[in-house]
Amino acid sequence: MKALSFHQPRAEQIIRGAKTIDIRTWQVQYRGPLAVHASSKRRDGRCRILGFDPDALDYGALVGTVELADIAPLKDEATYQALRDQHLLDTPFPGPPCYAWRLANARRFDAPIACRGRMRLFNVDVGRDRIPSSQESQAQDSISRRPHHPHYRVTPPPEPDPDHPFVLYAIPESGNGYRIALYQWLPHNTSSPRTHLRSGDFSRSAHGAMWGIELGGGPLRAVSDHLLNALRSNGYKATDLAHAAGRDAPFYLDELMGLRLALILLAVKPLTRHDRIEAIGQGVQAMGDEEAYYWFSKCSAGRDAPRAQKALRILLSSE
């Protein structure tokens, strides 16, 4: 079978049936079934901007099949824009040569098949038993056409609360311990893949999509005071957290307290020295609101987020 490789989250969008046109600068004579390959190269920032949890996606694997129904040249900006709801790109018209590969009948494999990708079309050996039947495909199509909601790695997902866009879960671990998972909620009714936090003039500084971060062990214990402070500021008692591990209902945090806590977690996650972790926590809490929003916008999304997190660690803890 012929295969074509896509970066995530494009491969996932195709398998869901949300992306039905792929834009390429080249074309082929081939028409027919294609195995959809998810590239091994990760683009975590891009995934988050488009509302996907990068850790929940498949990489370096065949994830399903589609039918390559047609390939048509795109000669102008107007035609490219008219197809935006199908190709889902937010970039301007690249100019010729530009071709719209029309994809149909997306089917997901029961499990991804590890495979190394290649440039352009390449051949793969996929057994017939791995390709879903037409009935299974129809069932998957009905699911893939449902409106896309961001993935939370805990269930059930939180109920929308625009006034408290950060949600915190306590997740039990072996023994009596737990780790926390903090998420930024992305409103489901947004008309754009980018969502602005609601904080007056600062909202433009912190755009991004839903993302999540988990923390446990020593770093979590080192920031426990900041965690409890965020909970108290949102009407919870300190004892609530001790009994929260494994409960379905999350803690809802307002934007500013949730953002500061998120910024602390992002910066301290790779650290082990408690003095540095404490210095970062105190430094974030001492920031003005505008400065905190600025650093959050840099550290939470985009390909340069890891660099920004390192810069923040250096700034606040002399790492």
Q: What pLDDT shows up at residue 152?
A: 52
pLDDT tens-place string over residues 169-178: 887 766 667 7
pLDDT tens-place string over residues 80-107: 988 988 998 878 888 889 999 999 999 9
Distance between CA 305 and CA 66 in Å, rounded?
34
Q: What pLDDT shows up at residue 250?
A: 82
Helix (H, G, I), strand (E, B) or coil at 244: coil
Concatenated DSSP letters of 40-95: S---HHHHHHTT--GGGS--SEEEEEEEEEEEEE--SHHHHHHTHHHH---SPP--
**29 has pLDDT over 80:** yes
Distance between CA 66 and CA 22 in Å, rounded?
12
For the chain, the structural domain boundaries read: 2-144, 166-317
Fold of the CATH domain 2-144: 2.30.130
**281 has pLDDT over 90:** yes
Q: What pLDDT shows up at residue 35?
A: 94
What mean pLDDT comes out for the span 37-59? Answer: 85
Share of the chain above pLDDT 90, in %: 37
User: What are the CA-CA distances from residue 197 to residues 66, 194, 227 (Å)?
Assistant: 37, 10, 21
Kindly report the backbone phi and psi dihedral angles of residue 67, in degrees, each rounded to the nearest multiple of 5, phi listed first. -100, 125
Kindly report the backbone phi and psi dihedral angles of residue 122, in degrees, each rounded to the nearest multiple of 5, phi listed first. -145, 160
Q: 113: which strand partners?
A: 62
Distance between CA 76 and CA 87 in Å, rounded?
15
**138 has pLDDT over 80:** no
Distance between CA 55 and CA 53 in Å, rounded?
5
Asked if residues 151 and 181 have their Cβ atoms less than 8 Å apart, the reply is no
Q: What pLDDT shows up at residue 151?
A: 46
Question: Look-up: residue for tokens 């023994």?
Answer: 175
**270 has pLDDT over 50:** yes
pLDDT band at 147 (very low <50, low <70, confident <90, very high): very low
Burial class (CB in 10 A: 0-12, 13-18, 19+), 302: middle
Which of 114-123, 170-179, 303-312 reaches the highest mean pLDDT? 114-123
Q: What pLDDT shows up at residue 148?
A: 37
User: What are the CA-CA distances from residue 299 to residues 29, 171, 262, 288 (Å)?
Assistant: 44, 24, 10, 16
pLDDT tens-place string over residues 194-243: 333 333 332 332 333 356 788 888 888 899 999 999 999 999 987 777 66
Short-list 35, 203, 47, 222, CA closest to 127:
35
Q: What pLDDT shows up at residue 286?
A: 94
Which of 63-72, 79-88, 154-163, 295-304 reaches the highest mean pLDDT? 63-72
Kindly report the backbone phi and psi dihedral angles of residue 316, in degrees, each rounded to the nearest multiple of 5, phi listed first. -100, -20
pLDDT band at 66 (very low <50, low <70, confident <90, very high): very high
Distance between CA 246 and CA 308 in Å, rounded?
32
